[in-house]
Amino acid sequence: MKKKAIIVLVGLLGASILQSCMKEDIISGGNGLEDWSDETHGYNATPNYAVVFNQNEVQRIDFLIEPEYWAVMQEDLEEIVADAGTAPGDFSEETPIYVPCQMYFNGKQWYDVGIRYKGNSSLTNASEQGMGKLPFRIETNHFENENPNINGQTFYGFTQLSLSSNYKDNSYLHEKVAADILREFGIPAAQTAFYRIYIDYGDGPVYFGLYTMVEIIFDTMLDTQFGSSSGNCYKPDSDGGRLNDLQNINSTYFPNKTNSGASLDDIVELVSAIISDTRTTNPGQWKQDLESIFDVDHFLKWLAANTTLMNWDVYGRAPHNYYLYKNPSNNLFTWIPWDHNSAFSINPNNLAFNFSNMQTTPISSSGDVAWPLISYLYSDSAYRARYNNYIDEFITTVFTVSNLSAKFTAFHDMIQPYVTGAEGEISGYTTLTSQTAFDNSVTELINIVTQRISDADAYTP
Range scoring the smallest mean pLDDT among 232-236, 248-252, 346-350, 453-457: 346-350
- Condensed to tens digits (0 to 9), the pLDDT of residues 372-397 reads 999 999 999 999 999 999 999 999 99
| Exposed e or buried b per residue across 229-263, where buried means at least 16 C-beta atoms within 10 angstroms of its C-beta | bebbbbbbbebbbbbbbeebbeeebbebbbeeeee
The percent of the chain in helix, strand and coil, each rounded to the nearest 5, is: 40, 15, 45
Query: Rounded to two decimals, what is the model's pTM?
Result: 0.93
C-alpha 197/C-alpha 206 separation (Å) is 8
For the cut 70, the answer to whether the pLDDT of residue 23 exceeds it is no
Query: What's the confidence (pLDDT) of residue 27?
Result: 28
Region 177-200: mean pLDDT is 98
For the cut 90, the answer to whether the pLDDT of residue 29 exceeds it is no
Query: What's the confidence (pLDDT) of residue 19?
Result: 47
For the cut 60, the answer to whether the pLDDT of residue 17 exceeds it is no
Query: What's the confidence (pLDDT) of residue 216?
Result: 98
Region 407-416: mean pLDDT is 98
- Condensed to tens digits (0 to 9), the pLDDT of residues 314-326 reads 999 999 999 999 9
Among 45, 88, 136, residue whose Cα is nearest residue 348: 88
C-alpha 448/C-alpha 226 separation (Å) is 32
For the cut 60, the answer to whether the pLDDT of residue 152 exceeds it is yes
C-alpha 261/C-alpha 275 separation (Å) is 25
pLDDT level of residue 236 (50, 70, 90 thresholds): very high
Share of the chain above pLDDT 90, in %: 86
User: CA-CA-CA-CA torsion for 412, 418, 423, 428, nearest 10 degrees?
Assistant: -120
CA quadruple 200, 61, 2, 124: dihedral sign: negative
Among 104, 101, 111, 113, residue whose Cα is nearest residue 70: 101
Is pLDDT larger for residue 2 or for residue 21? 2
| Exposed e or buried b per residue across 66-85, where buried means at least 16 C-beta atoms within 10 angstroms of its C-beta | bebbbbbbebbbebbbeebe
pLDDT level of residue 25 (50, 70, 90 thresholds): very low
Could you tell me the strand order of the sheet in which 332-337 lies? Answer: 233-234, 322-327, 332-337
User: Beta-carbon neighbour count of residue 350 at 10 Å?
Assistant: 18
User: Which residues, other chains included, contact 421 with Cβ-Cβ below 8 Å and sequence gap of 6+?
Assistant: none
Query: What's the confidence (pLDDT) of residue 10?
Result: 56
- Condensed to tens digits (0 to 9), the pLDDT of residues 85-142 reads 555 555 667 899 999 999 999 999 999 999 999 987 888 888 888 899 999 999 999 9
Average pLDDT, the chain: 92
For the cut 60, the answer to whether the pLDDT of residue 257 exceeds it is yes
Range scoring the smallest mean pLDDT among 72-86, 194-208, 275-289: 72-86
CA quadruple 75, 77, 83, 86: dihedral sign: negative
Decide if 340 contacts 311 (C-beta within 8 A).
yes
Range scoring the smallest mean pLDDT among 31-35, 70-74, 220-224, 422-426: 31-35
Decide if 190 contacts 150 (C-beta within 8 A).
no
Q: How far is CA 194 from CA 175, 209, 416, 433, in A?
A: 10, 10, 11, 20
Region 410-434: mean pLDDT is 97
Query: What's the confidence (pLDDT) of residue 120?
Result: 78
Decide if 245 contacts 364 (C-beta within 8 A).
yes
User: CA-CA-CA-CA torsion for 203, 204, 209, 210, nearest 10 degrees?
Assistant: 150
Among 440, 177, 221, 437, residue whose Cα is nearest residue 309: 177
